[in-house]
């Protein structure tokens, strides 16, 4: 993924203090009142890696999220739990395309989903 030069409207934060619980921070609707879609990815053992690897992974995630900045509304990487939460605008195909793009730069990332057998 190539780096984008223009400044991104995505806000990057590094919170060192305990944060507000995710369920209180995740938006459910966009600025027009449309419901958002979410997906979760687990990045196994990310927090056990060295700082250089973690930084590279965060930068790679940032590049993907910035590339899709018109669709991505919110993203949170919880390093303690190795969980990436992403909220996106309801756009056809994006709940598959964005996780696939993330997996292409962070191969160990696993998309969390429902068991299709349960839905039958």
pLDDT, tens digit, for every residue of 74-113?
999 999 999 999 999 999 999 999 999 999 999 999 999 8
Average pLDDT, the chain: 84
Domain ranges within the chain, ordered by starting residue: 32-112
**What pLDDT score was predicted for residue 5?**
38
Helix (H) or strand (E) holding 89: strand 83-89
Looking at the domain 32-112, which fold is it? Alpha-Beta Plaits (3.30.70)
Angle between helix 51-67 and helix 94-105 axes, rounded to 10 deg: 150
How much is the pTM?
A: 0.80
pLDDT of 54 strictly over 70: yes
Q: Compare 49 and 12 and report the one with higher pLDDT.
A: 49
Between CA 78 and CA 54 the distance in angstroms is: 12
- Nearest residue to 39 (alpha-carbon basis) of 64, 19, 17: 64
């Amino acid at each position: 993924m190539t780096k984008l030069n223009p400044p991104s409207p995505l806000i990057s934060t590094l919170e060192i203090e305990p944060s507000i619980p995710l369920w209180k921070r995740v938006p459910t609707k966009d600025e027009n009142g449309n419901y958002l879609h979410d997906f979760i990815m687990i990045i196994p053992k990310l927090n056990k890696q060295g700082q250089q690897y973690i930084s590279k992974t965060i930068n790679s995630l940032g590049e993907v999220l910035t590339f899709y900045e018109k669709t991505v509304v919110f993203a949170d990487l919880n390093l303690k739990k190795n969980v990436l939460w992403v909220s996106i605008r309801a756009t056809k195909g994006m709940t598959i395309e964005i996780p696939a793009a993330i997996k292409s730069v962070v191969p160990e990332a696993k998309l969390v989903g429902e068991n299709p057998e349960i839905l039958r």
